């Protein structure tokens, strides 16, 4: 017992000395002539500046200077290009990192770290021309708060130097629905629109005024936000209706029309995708029925019928996407007939490319065709001409590097393949950035 105590005492002393020194240094660096009271610790406010010559950022090495605390330097981000995708890192919880990614070379560029903390990360990326243009928007939850109060729900837009995002603090009662397709940013970048789990309706956030501008409870509809300008279109499954919700100049949503045009056996699903240039929505129902809904002229007046069914005996359909031009559909398939929402849903082993008008098959992209050993995610390019698939590359000495493969949307032929480099975490999701007006 004595020998253990004697070993612990020097270790405690060794830790205490640097800690005390750190407190003294911190007090001195504050610039306050008066010595702090016993037990009081003060922290200096360190401004950040644009890096000059000899300053290293990120992974770049930099010599340690003689100024303490060291100056904080931050650079402006490179805006996301129309030829890039967003690569969301693998993970869940308080922080998720993502990068702008050149899908042809596989090289990652600007990195963002957001704090979704929601079931599915709510992340939107935007093509920009300058660093000050919106680059990434995320609905975030900052927690834990515990006895200090409720969590902080925010909608944050990252641009510029990333240390000063434009942040909208949402009301405590806001609960952003997080499934893909349940929230959107209007094409002019003015509003963030989402279905809300607590409201059972639509909530609108004015991104410029930095406040909630309106909300509308609509029980039995949603949770999809297909946006054409300031017009929102969605589904009311029980009544077999499509619904239109208009957002006025003050950001207030109002139900303006309904059309009972869905078939009697219509079945909805959890997620949907959107063809931005064609103003068309893709909905693959839970029963496999594939709908492409055209909202370019408002609500359809004629009955809507599926263009086909995605069901196959070989495996279950999983994720899906439609390109921005509304000409091609891609649907993932697992190696199991169990629904992919199940914990035993199997692995994605192929992607089938279809014509978006007739559902005629264009090409089957299995692992061998893609040159991959696993599929993580897929997304179409901004111009809709290429489908990119990210996954595990061929194994080399028991290890495989993440690889991104480009496929012609028109023919299904492979046009590029590159190892993904420059990311911190493995890529779990590819997102197509939005072009704002």
The predicted-structure confidence for 60-107, as pLDDT tens digits, reads as follows 777 777 777 777 778 889 999 999 999 999 876 678 999 999 999 999
Residue showing tokens 């209706």: 241
The single-letter DSSP state of residue 66 is S
Residues 6+ apart with CB under 8 A from 132: 76, 159, 160
Query: Could you tell me the pLDDT band of residue 417, with boundaries at 50, 70 and 90?
Result: very high
Q: Per residue in 168-177, pLDDT tens? A: 999 888 889 9
Q: What is the pLDDT of residue 146?
A: 65
Q: In sequence order, what are the residues at sequence separation of 6 or more whose Cβ sits closer than 8 angstroms to the Cβ of residue 114?
A: 95, 96, 98, 121, 123, 136, 138, 140, 156, 158
Bridge partners, 232 (sequence order)? 227, 245
Distance of alpha carbon 361 from alpha carbon 307, whole angstroms:
12
Length of the chain in terms of residues written: 437
Identify the residue with better confidence: 117 or 406: 406
- Say which residue the tokens 């609960």 belong to: 175
The per-residue pLDDT for range 224-279, each reduced to its tens digit, is: 999 999 999 999 999 999 999 999 999 999 999 999 999 999 999 989 999 999 99
Residue 419, SS3? strand
Residue 308 CA to residue 330 CA, distance in Å, equals 13
Cis, bond preceding 69 (omega within 30 deg of 0): yes
| Cis amide linkage into residue 202, ω under 30° from 0 | no
pLDDT in tens, 369-397: 999 999 999 999 999 999 999 999 998 88
Q: Which pair of structure tokens corresponds to residue 85?
A: 């995708």
Mean pLDDT (the chain, rounded) = 88
pLDDT for 138:
96
pTM for this model (two decimals): 0.86
Name the β-bridge partners of 392.
374, 402
DSSP 32-91: -SSPPPTT--------EE---TT---TT------S-SSPPEE--PPPPPPTT-EEEEES-
């Amino acid at each position: 017992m004595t020998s253990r105590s004697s070993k612990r005492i020097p270790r405690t002393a060794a830790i205490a000395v640097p800690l005390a020194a750190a407190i003294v240094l911190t007090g001195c660096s504050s610039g306050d002539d008066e010595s702090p009271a016993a037990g009081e610790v003060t922290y200096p406010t360190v401004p950040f500046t644009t890096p000059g010559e000899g300053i290293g950022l990120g992974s770049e090495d930099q010599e340690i200077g003689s100024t303490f605390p060291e100056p904080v330097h931050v650079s402006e981000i490179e805006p996301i290009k129309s030829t890039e995708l967003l690569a969301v890192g693998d993970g869940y919880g308080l922080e998720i990192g993502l990068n702008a990614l050149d899908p042809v070379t596989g090289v990652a560029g600007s990195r963002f770290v957001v704090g979704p903390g929601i079931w599915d990360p709510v992340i939107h990326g935007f093509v920009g021309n300058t660093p000050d243009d919106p680059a990434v928007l995320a609905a975030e939850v900052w927690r834990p708060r515990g006895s200090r109060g409720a969590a902080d729900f925010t909608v944050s837009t990252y641009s510029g130097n990333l240390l000063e995002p434009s942040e909208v603090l949402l009301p405590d009662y806001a609960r952003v629905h997080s499934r893909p397709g349940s929230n959107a940013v209007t094409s002019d970048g003015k509003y963030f629109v989402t279905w809300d789990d607590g409201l059972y309706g639509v909530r609108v956030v004015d991104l410029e005024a930095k406040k909630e501008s309106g909300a509308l409870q609509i029980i039995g509809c949603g949770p999809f936000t297909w946006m054409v300008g300031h017009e929102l279109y969605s589904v009311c499954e029980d009544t077999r209706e499509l619904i239109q919700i208009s957002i006025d100049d003050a950001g207030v949503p109002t139900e303006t029309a309904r059309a009972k045009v869905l078939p009697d056996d219509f079945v909805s699903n959890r997620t949907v995708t959107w063809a931005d240039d064609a103003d068309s929505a893709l909905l693959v129902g839970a029963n496999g029925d594939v709908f492409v809904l055209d909202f370019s002229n408002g609500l359809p007046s004629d009955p809507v019928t599926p263009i086909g069914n995605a069901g196959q005996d070989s495996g279950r359909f999983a994720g899906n996407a439609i390109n921005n031009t509304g000409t091609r559909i891609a649907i993932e398939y697992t190696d199991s007939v169990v629904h992919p929402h199940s914990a035993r849903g199997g692995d994605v082993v192929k992607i089938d490319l279809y014509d978006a008008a007739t559902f005629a098959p264009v090409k089957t992209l299995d692992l061998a065709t893609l040159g991959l050993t696993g599929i993580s995610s897929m997304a179409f390019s901004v111009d809709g001409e290429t489908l990119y698939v990210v996954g595990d590359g061929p194994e080399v000495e028991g290890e495989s590097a993440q690889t991104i493969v480009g496929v012609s949307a028109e023919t299904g032929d492979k046009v590029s393949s590159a190892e993904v480099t420059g990311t911190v975490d493995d890529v779990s999701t590819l997102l197509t950035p939005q072009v704002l007006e």
